Structure 1
Amino acid sequence: MRIDLNADVGESFGSFTIGEDEALFSSITSANIACGFHAGDFNVMRKTVELAVRHNVSIGAHPGYPDLQGFGRRALVMPPREIYNAVVYQIGALKQFCAIQGVSINHVKPHGALYNTAAIDGEVANAIVEAIYDTVPEAYIYGLSNSELVSAGKRIGLQTAQEAFADRRYDADGKLCSRQLPNAVLHTYEEIEQQVMDIVLNKQVQTLTGAAVTMEADTLCFHGDGSDVALRVQKIRQALEVANIRVSALGDMR
């Protein structure tokens, strides 16, 4: 068995530091690098690409809505063509920093509200996958398991990856619970490890109601701005490897 561990990184901005990027890179296999719209900036992007190269971590673009104030977690009303242009713009910025380092973008994962909207809205999903197809057609699209985004990626001919979340609660339909709910995020390491093992070993996840739903996952996400996230990812990776699960980036044949 095999799983990829990804985390949202490069979300610091100017003099503001967000997350534990340096520590995270020792445990994750894929990095979702913010592209300046919801978080990050040109200095942080370059530094984060350099960190990924140094640690041999696969690089992904993490485009979001143009919403620095809301950290990209507010759904904006944008027509599909504007979403397409915004995603092309963000991928293009990261792609050039990658080219300078002699590496490629291995995946694209939308951020926050853009990701959640694309999970259920076919027009938004199509706009995102078209942008990926036109800029980095060889890259994977990371989308919520069984979502519109994954389906749109398959239709256009992209490599797709079903994604599950280590630290987020799910509803009865297998969708992420709104962050506005009091129990939307798992807070203890024990809860997170249990959910990870259920997803990877049993291909299921317990919902907020207590029932279990089927959950296929090629990659697991950890939020880079979470509490003690670097230590938790390190322990989760160790637990997976003890269970004889290979932890590696998608496309890594080693």
Structure 2
Amino acid sequence: MTSIRPVFYVSDGTGITAETIGHSLLTQFSGFHFLTDRIAFVDDADKAREASARIRAAGEAHGVRPIVVNSCVDAGLSSVLAESGGLMLDVFAPFIEPLERELHAPRQPRVGQAHGIVDFEAYHRRINAMNYALTHDDGIAFDYAESDVILVGVSRAGKTPTCVYLALHYGIKAANYPLTDGDLESDRLPPRLKAWRRKLFGLTIDPERLHQIRQERRPDSRYAKLETCRREVQAAEAMFSLERIPTLSTTHTSIEEISSKVLSTLGLQREMF
């Protein structure tokens, strides 16, 4: 039986850092169903008390100790959050003391300070990449000249969230192309993709898992049938193999891991924001 555990990502900013690190940690553990919740902009005592009450209530509702991944820089706010009774995992704690020793200077914690260090060129690159991912999602547009990568796969194989992650965290212009029934009738690349072969990366998935995902989206439809999922995945994998497209299964792979593999395989080097 899968054990349920509430998890909170708490921050005085957006909470993206806490969520990214926390998710990477949780993927190392199986047999649990983590109920995650992000609480952002906890930048004063009142908000910290509200967050603490919310965390405590979740623990009482599920009868287990919540896990709290915290990136608040103010020790006072962290103390209030600790009153929730949750397991407190401070994102910065393991690094502050070694840095103070190395730099021969004490930290000067100020709420929101970390989020004020902005590289505007990188920021605009990330926003442009995000806009690109949204306008080139699921075959909406096919002008791939500006793309850095084009993710190819059957519907619900994980293309869209990976494109969004690549845009938000690396400023990568990622498009995605969904393989349709017409595309899968042939074991060759669809005509629209042939000119962009060097940018292609295939995503595949276990048919049983794909069946579960599609059942949640369109219960008992032809689209969600296990037979359909098996046929589509088999045809897509045959195409990737014949066309020598680099491929990764998303079945047991986190978005962070998928993105890292895409970047390294295609030789895309970008700083993480």
TM-score, length-scaled by structure 1: 0.29
Which has the greater radius of gyration? 2
Is the helix fraction higher in 1 or 2?
A: 2
TM-score, length-scaled by structure 2: 0.27
Which has the higher relative contact order, 1 or 2, with Cα contacts under 8 A spaced 6 or more apart? 1
